[in-house]
């Protein structure tokens, strides 16, 4: 996990049909991630996006 990823643990992930996922954006705060998620849902309403917390274990 890079230093940038450690500083930005909240991810918006796009789920693909092949059970893969793509990290679309990373954020420091949950509120920022959910606000951007609403923007993405308005632009691409037929695509599934999810907010996830990615922590290093």
- Higher pLDDT, residue 57 or 15: 15
DSSP class per residue in 17-53: TTS-EEEEEEESSHHHHHHHHHHHHHH-TTS-EEEEE
Q: Is the confidence at residue 3, as pLDDT, over 80? A: yes
Q: Is the confidence at residue 57, as pLDDT, over 70? A: no
pTM for this one? 0.82
Range(s) of the domain holding residue 15: 3-53
Report pLDDT digits (tens) over 5-52.
888 999 999 999 898 999 999 999 999 999 999 999 999 989 999 999
Q: Is 13 helix (H, G, I), strand (E, B) or coil?
A: strand
- Give the chain's domain count: 1
Q: Token pair 């951007």 is at which residue?
A: 36
Q: Token pair 């849902």 is at which residue?
A: 41
Q: What pLDDT shows up at residue 42?
A: 95
Residues forming a β-bridge with 51: 12
């Amino acid at each position: 996990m890079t230093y940038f990823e450690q500083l930005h643990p909240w991810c918006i992930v796009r789920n693909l049909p092949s059970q893969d996922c793509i990290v679309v954006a990373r954020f420091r705060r949950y509120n920022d991630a959910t606000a951007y998620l609403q923007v993405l849902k308005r632009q691409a309403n037929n695509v599934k996006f999810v907010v996830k917390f990615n922590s290093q274990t």
